[in-house]
Amino acid sequence: MKNMMRKCISGLVIFVFLFTALTVGVSAAELNGSPAVTAAPPLVERNDFDGALGYCFTTTEKLEVYALGRPENDGITADHGVRLWDVSTETVVAEVVITPDSPVKDGFRYEVLAAPVTLENLTQYLVVSDEESGGDFWFDSDKRWYDTDEDFDVSTIISGKGFNFTGGCFGGIGEMPVNLNTQFVYVMPQIYYEQKGADAVKIDDDGTLKPFIKTALGGERNDISAFVGYEFMFFADADVISLARPDNGMADPHTLVLWDITNKTVLASATVDTNSPLVDGYRVADLAAPVTLKAGITYGLVSWEDDFGDMWHDIEDEEEFDITAIGTVTRGIWTGDGDASEPGFPSNPGPSVEGMNGYVGATVFYQVQVEAEETAPAETDAAPDDVTTTPAPQTSDIAILFAVVMLGMAIVGIKKTVKR
């Protein structure tokens, strides 16, 4: 009888142990999603700044964020707040504290959010890590920190899908960084996320050729020799047919350059002068072939201006841009590098994200691309191909069955004991 009782108790103990372990496992923090930074950045011994550093990106579809992280480097010794900011609302949408005891995976310390956070499509976000001068080392892509002649190519380790990387940023701790840098990136905080698909963007379009910026506004100036202009983003794919500059009674020729900001490549250039066609107050130059701009990608348009030359516009508030509904202006840009014949990349931003200064008022004439209607697939009972979140781990059916069997054995043992 004692042996049988021991067996009964053993069976109950096994059942309780299994059931407890399985149910506790469901509530444990699990790291879901894919990393935005696909490899840890190289170790750079820089720790000379008090503030928050990271990078900016624009979503090209809805994303669901599960965790945030910071590179492990050779080991961190202090806590680091990591924050995810919505640029348009200047609010923190997710925040964690990375500690020396945080879980580590593939070179990153991370913390799982209490609940997933949804990032909206075609929206700018910043992710930054709090750093202390003299503290843990952090990453800087500037070539000055390497024994090379070129900056570190960040695109080799930021290759996640569903967003476009747009540059580095830095600012005060607890404040949304207003200093953006398209040339360098810092720290490389981590985001673990999943793609949720893109909502259709409804653009009022009648198929006609139209200017992105419809009216040039703002104060006038002509006090530098440089390429000046602005960054912008379209909400739908469109073909650019022409580049144009406000006439303003201009007397000199002006070279216009259309840039892919992320890849730092020239997509198109043209020169307008007093003989160029005048359309709605703009001198217009048609491109030899249309250039396609993709939704959610950051582009730049600049015009070469001469000191004491033709007047150009300095727009101090985004609201003053009279633009079509296809896109938005994100900030002003300029560079004194190069000249009208050899343009330099416009890496110098306007004063701040908040100010969003724009310059010149140059514009592109575009047509929205009309997508062919797709034939609806035949209905099947198969699950859709939509990307879904990874479900929280559930108690295994086999494990439950095993536990139930053990409970049954215990009950049978009890019955036999009672019989005896």
What would the two tokens of residue 11 be?
């069976």
Interacting residues of 390 by C-beta distance below 8 A, sequence separation 6+: 30, 32, 33, 194
Query: Above 90 in pLDDT, residue 259?
Result: yes
CB crowding 258-267: b at 16 or more within 10 Å, else e: bbbbbeeeeb
Closest CA to 55 of 152, 135, 147: 152
pLDDT of residue 118: 95
Q: What is the mean pLDDT of the chain?
A: 76
Q: Mean pLDDT throughout 284-295? A: 90
pLDDT of residue 76: 93
At 66-114, the pLDDT tens digits run 999 999 988 899 999 999 999 888 999 999 999 999 999 999 999 999 9
What would the two tokens of residue 67 be?
């965790």
Q: pLDDT class for 319, splitting at 50, 70, 90?
A: very low
**Do 333 and 327 touch, CB atoms closer than 8 A?**
no
Looking at per-residue pLDDT, the higher value among 263 and 176 belongs to 176
Instruction: Give the C-alpha separation, 221 to 361, whole Å.
Output: 12
Query: Above 70 in pLDDT, residue 49?
Result: yes
Q: pLDDT class for 10, splitting at 50, 70, 90?
A: very low
- Least confident segment among 64-68, 161-165, 350-354: 350-354
Query: Above 50 in pLDDT, residue 383?
Result: no
Looking at the domain covering 34-197, what would its CATH class be?
mainly beta
Q: Which fold has domain 210-368?
A: Jelly Rolls (2.60.120)
Interacting residues of 359 by C-beta distance below 8 A, sequence separation 6+: 228, 229, 230, 312, 313, 314, 315, 332, 333, 334, 350
Query: Above 60 in pLDDT, residue 234?
Result: yes
DSSP characters over 258-317: EEETTTTEEEEEEEE-TTS-EETTEEEEEEEEEEEEPTT-EEEEEEEE-TTSS-EEEE--
Query: Above 50 in pLDDT, residue 184?
Result: yes
Interacting residues of 156 by C-beta distance below 8 A, sequence separation 6+: 39
Instruction: Give the C-alpha separation, 168 to 142, whole Å.
Output: 11
Query: Above 60 in pLDDT, residue 60?
Result: yes
User: What pTM was computed for the model?
Assistant: 0.60
Share of the chain above pLDDT 90, in %: 29
What would the two tokens of residue 389 be?
């979140």
Query: Above 60 in pLDDT, residue 127?
Result: yes
Look at residue 72 and give its three-state secondary structure: coil
Domain regions of the chain by residue span: 34-197, 210-368
> Which helix (H) or strand (E) element contains residue 17?
helix 2-27
Query: Above 50 in pLDDT, residue 282?
Result: yes
Q: pLDDT class for 26, splitting at 50, 70, 90?
A: very low
Q: Do domains 34-197 and 210-368 have the same CATH topology?
A: yes
Q: pLDDT class for 269, splitting at 50, 70, 90?
A: very high
Helix axes 2-27, 397-419, angle to 10 degrees: 160
pLDDT of residue 356: 40
